[in-house]
Amino acid sequence: MSEKTDLIKEMIAMQNDFSAYERENGVGMKEYFTPEDDDKLAGYRQKYNDMAMKLVDIAHAEKGSVR
């Protein structure tokens, strides 16, 4: 598979996991934006954002454009 496909699949899996966790436990603003180091959501936002930006870079490279 291509890197783009792998990123998309991983991002969808992360979204599904987050949605399931939120349905089961609820997620408050503090937990989402400033989770404790040992919290399930620790690093989630940063990792997802990094993956999304990498996907944007791949899309621009495919089209020969820049952001």
Question: Does the model's pTM come out above 0.95?
Answer: no
Residue 16 has what pLDDT?
98
Instruction: Write out the chain's pLDDT in tens, 67 residues.
Output: 799 999 999 999 999 999 999 999 999 999 999 999 999 999 999 999 999 999 999 999 999 897 7
Range of the domain at 21: 3-63
**Alpha-carbon torsion, ordered 25, 44, 59, 62, to 10 deg:** -130
Look at the chain and report how many structural domains it folds into: 1
Instruction: Output the pLDDT for position 66.
Output: 79
Two tokens, residue 50:
């990094």
Return the pLDDT at 11: 98
The CA distance from 50 to 59, in Å, is: 14
The helix (H) or strand (E) run that includes residue 46 is helix 44-63
The torsion defined by the Cα of 31, 37, 38 and 44, in degrees rounded to 10, comes to 60
pLDDT score for 1: 74
